[in-house]
Every structure is written in C-alpha cells, then in structure tokens.
Amino acid sequence: MKSILVKGAYIVTQNEARQVLKGDMLIENGRIAAIGEVKDSADETIDAQGDIVIPGLVNAHTHVAMTVMKGMADDLPFNDFLEKSFSIDAKRTEKDIHAGARLGCLEMIRGGTTTFVDMYYSEDVIARATIESGLRGVLCWAVLDHEFTTQKGVPLKNCQRFHSSHQGNEMVIPGIGLQGVYVCSKETFLGAKELADRTGMLLHFHLSETRKEVYDHKRKHQRRPADWLQEIGFLGRNCLAAHAAWLTINEINDLARSGSSIATCPVSNMKLATGGVAPIPEMMSAGVNVAIGTDGSTTNNSLDMLGEMKTLALLQKANRWDPTIVSAQQALDFATIGGARALGLEKEIGSIEVGKRADLAIIEGRSANIWPLREQTLVAGIVYCANAGNVRSVICSGRPLMLDRRVLSLNEDDVLEESNEAMSGLLS
C-alpha cells in the first residue's frame, strides 16, 4: 500500500481534546503515522493547503441498496408509503440490489462517508458492492420472525451463514439487523442476542420510530418497546437502535445503563412526518452514545451526512426553542467518534490520531459557501456551511477512493447507467 502525505491542511482531529491543527499528515500502511510538521517523503503527496481534513463520516443507519428506489414513494401518508415501498421491494433481484448498493456507495464516497451501517436482506450481494467501492460496511442481515419474511430459509440462520462467510474481513463487518418489535418476537430477539454475544456481531434494530409502533406494542405487552427489550435482557453494549424518536426518560435510562447507542435519523423522520423528534438532549444528559444515520433513499432520498448534521442541529434548536441545545461540535461528534463508538470501532476510526486507520475526508476550504475560513469557526463551517459538493478527496483505511473529485474505486459512468436500468426495471 502506498504511503501518502497530506500537506498544509486544517486538521479537525476529533481527538479527546477536539484539537484543530494546521499542518501535515503522513499515512503509512493504511494508518496515520504522523500529524503536524512532517518532513518525511511519501509515495504520493496531496496538496491540501487551505483545505479542511476531517475524520471519515460514519453513517450509522441506512439501507444502501434502496438508492435506486429514490422518488418512488414520495409525499405519501405513512401507511401508503409502507404499502408502496413493500410492493416495489418485493420485486427486487440480486442484479438491481447490487446496482443500488454501488450507487449508494458512490454517493457516500462523494459525501465524505467512509463507514456505513446497513440493514437489508441479501447482504452478501451488498458486500460485493462494498468491497468494490473500498468503503467499510457494517452489513446487518435483516432478521425477523419467519411468518413475516419473504426470505428463503430462516432469517437468523441466513445471518449466521453471512457471518461465517465474511468473519475477519476488516472492510465488510457482518452484523444482525433486527427489523423491529412489530415483526420480531422475544424468541427472535434473544436468539439474535445469543448469536451476537457468541460472535461479537453488532445488534442493529429499528426502535420507536413511530407513535403507532410504540402504542401497538404497549397494548400487546403492557410495556413500551425499549422497556420491554430491557426487561427481556436484550439491551447491551453491542446494541445500536435506529430512530429512537418516541422514548420516555425511563427508556432513555434503560439505554444508558445498558451501554446501548442510538442512530438518530432526523431527515427521514421529518420527511415521513411521523411526528417524533428524538430526545437527543436527554440522551446526552443520561450518557447515551449518539450517532447519526440517513436511513434509506425512500425515506430520505439522500445519503448526505453533512446535510444530516446540519438538519439534526437545527431541528433540535427549533424544537426546544434553544439555540444552544445541540452545538456544531456535538453534531460533528455524533457523525464521527459517536458513530465509531456505536460500532465498537472507536480505537480504530472516528478521529484523526496517530495509530488509527486513515479514514479521511478532505473538504475544499476555498469554497464560497464556506469562506472566509478561520480556525476558530472551522467546525461550525463544516456543520452549518459545507455540503457534499465541497468534498474534494476521500481516503478509507489508507486507500484513496476519490482524489480531486475523481472517484477511483468505481467507474462512475457504469454505476450510474446500471442503477438507471435497475430503477427502470422496478418501475416497469
């Protein structure tokens, strides 16, 4: 693997002290070897004078293969949205799932994301696209009760087979994707937990996304979903709950005590108008680790984590009538080190520190929407000013995936053409 020298950048380290440095960075053998004034030479040099280097962003909840479904179920009431999405999803083939995953990976590269958490079936197909793209994917095989699935075979056994075929892969990390309490019984949740505890897999699941989900579960089990998951002994440090919009203080404390993380998805929840605003301030106060996800392209239409950070901060401010409630620094924390911590990868990724994997996004500093550039306002500029179009270069585990806006790991024209054909097939 080539060594790389990044010269003259503003480096937003996201280390424990949240230092912002002006200088160079040396990458060797896929890891950060030096930060500051680097006098060593390298096989390749990136002139980043005046640019901003941030840790590669972590998209903590998405359904990447659904990118070819964007625009197919917009502006519909929630039940109609579900019906239309499920009817289209039932027609999917391996070919269009692969095309959708490649398109999603391409979009994430262009937006500065280097690690993503996916939940879907056919993760073996999505794994191929992930490997081609060079991104790091935590791919969580969809698990639900047999009576509700369209998968062939038993979902949990399918997940176990996926793990067996990809365990030890540093860039494709198998996980368990429990659909939610509405289609997963106690036996399914505990069977998944036993598998996760034995293998070290992440337990990723939808939680309290809508009010109906919460009230239906309470009528059936006399407990709200998070209370029930705690009661049956499911919650733990390897749990990552997506959405988590309709939670009580007691449920937040359950998540905090268990060491569980959440992936808030503000754009998705706003677009579907499910009414809930995730209680992020209470989670932070209780000590729940917070990450950010985009959700899939039917409920968001975008995998832009820079946009997601801004929306999250503004939504919380507007909802609480308090401009201080979630700061730009906290929003960036959620998208970087918070996401890494949710995956148990905080010692490897999420910040720019010597010894960690070289996961980086380089944002062009001399951009009208970010300029003027000052060290004291860099973080606010990233969260409130920058967008995916400002991302100039992306490196994942020391491998350049995009340099000067030219994607290297995927043939962009092929990806766009294949995904267009896939969308046409689903609409026909």
One domain for residues 205 and 259: yes
Here the CATH number for the domain that contains residue 98 is 3.20.20.140
One domain for residues 30 and 66: no
One domain for residues 36 and 63: no
One domain for residues 8 and 81: no
Q: How many domains does the chain have?
A: 2
Q: What is the pLDDT of residue 71?
A: 86
One domain for residues 178 and 225: yes
Instruction: Report in angstroms the alpha-carbon separations of 275 from 1, 282, 284, 308.
Output: 48, 18, 21, 18
For residue 163, being part of any structural domain is answered with yes
What is d(CA 91, CA 67) in angstroms, rounded to the nearest whole number?
Answer: 15
Q: What is the pLDDT of residue 375?
A: 87
* Structure-token pair, residue 355: 């010894």
* Structure-token pair, residue 419: 């995904």
- Residue 169 CB contacts under 8 Å (≥ 6 apart), including other chains: none
57: helix, coil or strand? strand
One domain for residues 131 and 164: yes
One domain for residues 50 and 103: no
One domain for residues 401 and 268: no
Q: What is the pLDDT of residue 225?
A: 97
One domain for residues 45 and 156: no
One domain for residues 116 and 253: yes
Here the CATH number for the domain that contains residue 366 is 2.30.40.10
One domain for residues 226 and 296: yes
Contacts 24+ apart (CB under 8 A), 389-392: 390/306, 390/363, 390/364, 391/110, 391/111, 391/112, 391/306, 391/361, 391/362, 391/363, 391/364, 392/51, 392/362, 392/363, 392/364
For residue 335, being part of any structural domain is answered with yes
One domain for residues 240 and 191: yes
Strands (E), 19-127: 20-28, 31-36, 44-47, 52-55, 57-62, 113-120
Question: Digits of tens for pLDDT over the chain (428 positions)?
Answer: 899 999 999 999 999 999 999 999 999 999 999 999 898 889 999 999 999 999 999 999 999 999 988 888 888 888 888 888 888 887 788 999 999 999 999 999 999 999 999 999 999 999 999 999 999 999 999 999 988 887 788 899 999 999 999 998 999 999 999 999 999 999 999 999 999 999 999 999 999 999 999 999 999 999 999 999 999 999 999 999 999 999 999 999 999 999 999 999 999 999 999 878 999 999 999 999 999 999 999 899 999 999 999 999 999 999 999 999 999 999 999 999 999 999 999 999 999 999 999 999 999 999 999 999 888 899 999 999 999 999 999 999 999 999 999 999 999 999 999 999 888 878 77
For residue 217, being part of any structural domain is answered with yes
For residue 231, being part of any structural domain is answered with yes
Q: Report pTM.
A: 0.97
For residue 347, being part of any structural domain is answered with no
For residue 144, being part of any structural domain is answered with yes
State the residue range of the domain holding 44: 4-55+353-406
For residue 170, being part of any structural domain is answered with yes
